[in-house]
Structure formats: C-alpha cells, structure tokens
Amino acid sequence: MLLLGLSSCREDRIFSEYKIEEFSFQGHQAKIVFPHSKGENGFWVWRARFWGVEPQVDKALLEKGFHVAYIDVANLFGNSEAVALWNDFYAFITKKYHLNQKVVLEGFSRGGLIIYNWASQNPKKVACVYADAPVCDIKSWPGGLYTGSGSPKDWEVCLQAYGLDENSVMGFKGNPIHTCTKLAKAKVPVLHVFGDADEVVPHFENTELLAKNFEEVGGKIELIQKNGVGHHPHSLEDPEPIVDFILSHTIHKAP
C-alpha cells in the first residue's frame, strides 16, 4: 500500500491536546484518545487503519465528546482472525471505558476490509460506517487483478492470511462487496468518500460495486465523490459533511 503508518512522535503531536492511552492488546498495538469532556451517551469512533492520517474527522468528533479507538490488524486483511480480535477488543473497550454499545466505524483504504467484515457479523453493534477510499475486494487491492496497480508483496501476505491461492481466491465470497449485504439488510447507515481518479483502489472495482450490491438488497448508502482526486489525500479538507453524517446517526439521531 502506498500509504505508510506515521511515526509515533508525529501521532502524539496530532492528538497532543488530548489524553491518550497506548497499550498492547493480545500482542497488537492499540490506542484510545479521550475527549476533554465525555459525551453523556459514550459515543466512540473506531479507526481501522492509518492512525493519525487526515485526522480532521476524529478531532471534530473528539470535540463532540467522542472517544477514538484503534487496534492494528493491518496484515490480517480483515480475515477471521482479525474479526475475532476485534470482537475481543470491542468487549474490552466498551466495558473498561463504559462506551456506547454502538460504535462508529471508520475505515481508510485497507481498513475497509475489517470494518465491513466485522460489522457484517455484528450489525447491531454499529451506529454507522464511514469508509474512505476503502478496499472492498482483495482481488482489486492488493491483488491488482483488474485495473488497479496492486501490491505483489501485500498480495502474498493477504493470500496467506486467508488460506487462499491464485485460483481459489477467484471464488472467494468474504470480501466487503459480498459481506456488505448483511449491513444493508440490517439498515446500517453507510457513507463512502472516494476519488474518481484513484488508481490504487479504483472506485468502480470497490465502492461502486459495493454500493450496487448494497442497494440491491434495500440498503441506503451515501457517496461523496472527489473529482480528479486519486487515492490520496483521504477525507475532506472540510470534514463537515462526514461529521454531520456521523452525528445524524449518533448524537442527533431521532428517537
């Protein structure tokens, strides 16, 4: 993947005005950022990947009383091991920090794999999904089997993570383009932000195909297309549309 993790020093500077706890959870790096004033409903956003990158949505939600949590499962590519780890992390973090039973999922790039695969098994625990230039089919990225650039090194690791090979992956039905239908049927609100010039995770192989499958089973998905923008930068310079979407399904949700 072109986007690399930032150094811990830079991450600390990004959230320097907030209290942060960093710890290891079952051998995986984890973090939680605390708002200055916790919201009464204990809402939180779960960042799936690329901690500290384009943090404008996270910081806006922190100011609204949300916590922001993270656990690194990048090299599992959203497989069953990653889902099981997320199940344990969810149970741990909601209990220890007294957070809401419904979480906002935020997935950048390959983070799209775990947010959808976990959410599809736990739809009642999801307030809404915000996916940004998300990978929705491993054959697109890291596979690069269609028009995208792919990543041969990551592809090898990904196939091993799923116990697949170049032949069996062609019939694989564990991608977000498939698992998303469970969220759609559960009426979980979803927002995708993507660039129409993305050559790493092409939108028509990922977001557009997922949206088609999502809507075919009665789900509603919102799309924000960034004209002329590639895989980077993620998010929006002005995050208000994303933040408003999240608030409308949490703090401002109609009873």
8-state DSSP, 134:
-
Residue 12: band (very low, low, confident or very high) from pLDDT cuts 50, 70, 90? low
Percent of the chain whose predicted confidence (pLDDT) is above 70: 95
Quick one: pLDDT at residue 8? 42
pLDDT of residue 50 exceeding 80, the answer is yes
Sheet containing strand 67-71, strands side by side: 19-25, 28-34, 67-71, 44-47, 103-108, 126-132, 190-195, 221-226
Mean pLDDT of 12-32: 92
Strands 44-47 and 67-71: parallel
- At 245, which helix (H) or strand (E)? helix 240-248
Mean pLDDT of 91-111: 97
Q: What is the pLDDT of residues 197-244, one digit of tens each?
A: 999 999 999 999 999 999 999 999 999 999 999 999 999 999 999 999
- The label of the residue with tokens 């090299």 reads 75
